Every structure is written in structure tokens, then in C-alpha cells.
Amino acid sequence: MNVILLGPPGVGKGTAAKKMVEVYGIPQISTGDLLREAVKNKTDLGLKAKKYMDAGELVPDDLVIGLLKERVAKDDCRKGFILDGFPRTIPQAESLDASGIRIDVVVNLHADESVIVERLSGRRDCPKCGAIYHIKNKPPKKPDTCDACQGALITRDDQKEEVIQNRLQVYRKQTEPLIRYYEKKGIQKTVNAVQTIEKVFADIQKAVGQA
Ligand code: AP5
């Protein structure tokens, strides 16, 4: 099963993808995580990507497409994968089509912007194991400490108020047109993301089951 999770920053793509990994046993491929890893390791690509990411802009298509294709070609993707944060532009979607990689369903997570801003500003990440928390909606048992691996939780660099606003603007302009793109292909399903994490996941399972 090859799935795309589409939706604005902070809508809950990463949270849902992690549950899907547990249940379906297929990997989550987050271009955001791949890029942050490249930035951390100071690779050529990471050094180029950093300035875009810190400003809330998209990293140029050619850099991200190469990164994604390399990842999808790995053995663990043979049974399927969850694309989280890719594609994010029409050229990225077209390049995915051109590469012959089949997509079964595109789950479009929807929430109003006020909800998104609240979710993004309260998010905390574990840089060690990738777990995602929220200070109100999904707090860790011990403040600022990951339940799973005891790592120290961090606030991402792109969570500043002005960067969040730019990310939302970039989403509206460059990524939202993908909803129509996949609607036309007949594989797009919208899920209401303004529900509990469990309910959102249950609706995703229904959407994926119908694919
Ligand atoms: P990326 O890492 O992909 O970030 P994003 O899409 O902006 O999404 P987030 O990870 O911020 O949010 P999310 O939707 O996963 O929500 P989450 O589950 O964390 O990209 C970062 C940057 O990398 C981009 O700006 C760009 O520069 C670059 N990039 C990445 N991909 C690219 C591409 N393809 N092309 C070009 N550039 C690219 O949830 C948010 C919070 O809400 C959490 O605290 C969570 O606990 C909480 N929450 C989640 N679900 C619920 C719920 N149902 N109820 C209550 N709280 C909830």
C-alpha cells in the first residue's frame, strides 16, 4: 500500500504516519525528517536546504525529488510506504508520476488555520527517536522528556510565529493545488483532522481501506 499524507504544516501528518507505521508495518518517509537529518549531518544538500527551511520556504524541487527517489528505492519500501510531506508542489507530484511509482491513496488531512497554529506552537519533538508531543494535547509524562527513550524534547527552529505564518502561506500557494490534482485522479480522500488523534487515525484507516 503506497499512501500520501497531504495537509498543511502542523495538521498532524507526522502523528498519523507514526500510528500507520505501527499498524501497517510500512515505513514513514518524511521529506522534512530526511532534510533535517541532512542539515544535522552538514551534507552538501543539508547546507543548501537549511536557509529555506529556517525561513519556512520550500526546498527547491530538484534537491527534494532526488532525496525522495533514493529513499523509496530502499528494500523496506517493497511492501509499501507512507509519504509524509511529499509531494509538496505540482512539479514534485509530476515527477513522482513520471518515475512510475504507484500511489494508491492520498489522504488529505483538513483543519482550520487557528487549530494548526495552536498545534504547531505547542509541539515538542524528540530528536533521538522522532516521537511527537504537544504540551496540551499529548503531553509527555515527565516535562520536556520523551516517554519512549527519555531524550530531551526540543522545539523545532521553524516553530516561531512569523515562520509558521510563512509556512501556511507557502502551503496555500504551492501545496494546496495538489488536492485538486489528486481529486482529478480519483484517489484523494479528505479526513477531518479536528478530532482526537485516535479518531483521526480511525478515519484514515477507513479512507485507506477503501483505496
Ligand atoms: P515538515 O517536517 O514536513 O513539516 P510540515 O509539513 O510543515 O509538517 P509538520 O511536521 O510541522 O506537522 P505535521 O503535519 O507532521 O503535524 P504533527 O504530527 O507534527 O517540513 C519542514 C520543512 O522542510 C518545510 O517547511 C520545507 O522547508 C522542507 N520540506 C519538507 N518536505 C519538502 C518537500 N517535499 N519539498 C520542499 N521542501 C520540503 O502535529 C503537530 C502537533 O499537533 C503535534 O504537537 C501533535 O502532538 C499535535 N496533534 C497532531 N494531531 C492531533 C490531533 N488530532 N489532536 C490534537 N493534537 C494533535
**Residue 47 has what pLDDT?**
95
Q: Is 123 a catalytic residue?
A: yes
33 CA distance to ligand 1 centroid (A)? 10
Rounded Cα distance between 34 and 23, Å, is: 22
* Alpha-carbon distance values, 136 to 12, 36, 59, 94 (Å): 14, 25, 31, 38
Rounded Cα distance between 181 and 194, Å, is: 24
Q: Is 167 a catalytic residue?
A: yes
| Residue 23: strand, helix, or coil | helix
**Residue 168 has what pLDDT?**
96
Ligand 1: nearest atom to the Cα of 84:
3
Q: Is 180 a catalytic residue?
A: no
Q: What is the CA radius of gyration of the chain?
A: 16
**Residue 157 has what pLDDT?**
86
119 CA distance to ligand 1 centroid (A)? 10
Tell me which of 67, 107, 119 to substitute to probe ligand 1's pocket, judged by most ligand atoms within 8 Å of the beta carbon.
119
Secondary structure letter of residue 59 according to DSSP: P
Q: What is the dihedral of CA 42, 44, 46, 51, to 10 degrees?
A: 110
Point out which residues pair with 4 in neighbouring strands.
Answer: 83, 106
**Residue 210 has what pLDDT?**
58
Q: Is 8 in the pocket of ligand 1 (CB under 6 A)?
A: no
**Residue 211 has what pLDDT?**
52
Q: Is 50 in the pocket of ligand 1 (CB under 6 A)?
A: no
**Residue 160 has what pLDDT?**
86
Q: In what order do the strands lie in the sheet with 2-6?
A: 28-30, 81-84, 2-6, 105-110, 188-192
Cell of 106: 492520498
Over its length of 211 residues, how does the chain's per-residue pLDDT go in tens digits? 999 999 999 999 999 999 999 999 999 999 999 999 999 999 999 999 999 999 999 999 999 998 999 999 999 999 999 999 999 999 999 999 998 889 999 999 999 999 999 999 999 999 999 999 999 999 999 999 999 999 999 998 898 888 999 999 999 999 999 999 999 999 999 999 999 999 999 999 999 985 5
**Residue 7 has what pLDDT?**
97
* 191 Rama class: left (phi>0) / alpha (psi -120 to 50) / beta: beta
Q: Is 189 in the pocket of ligand 1 (CB under 6 A)?
A: no
**Residue 110 has what pLDDT?**
97
* 57 Rama class: left (phi>0) / alpha (psi -120 to 50) / beta: beta
| Residue 145: strand, helix, or coil | strand
**Residue 191 has what pLDDT?**
98
Residue whose CA lies nearest to ligand 1 atom number 52: 197
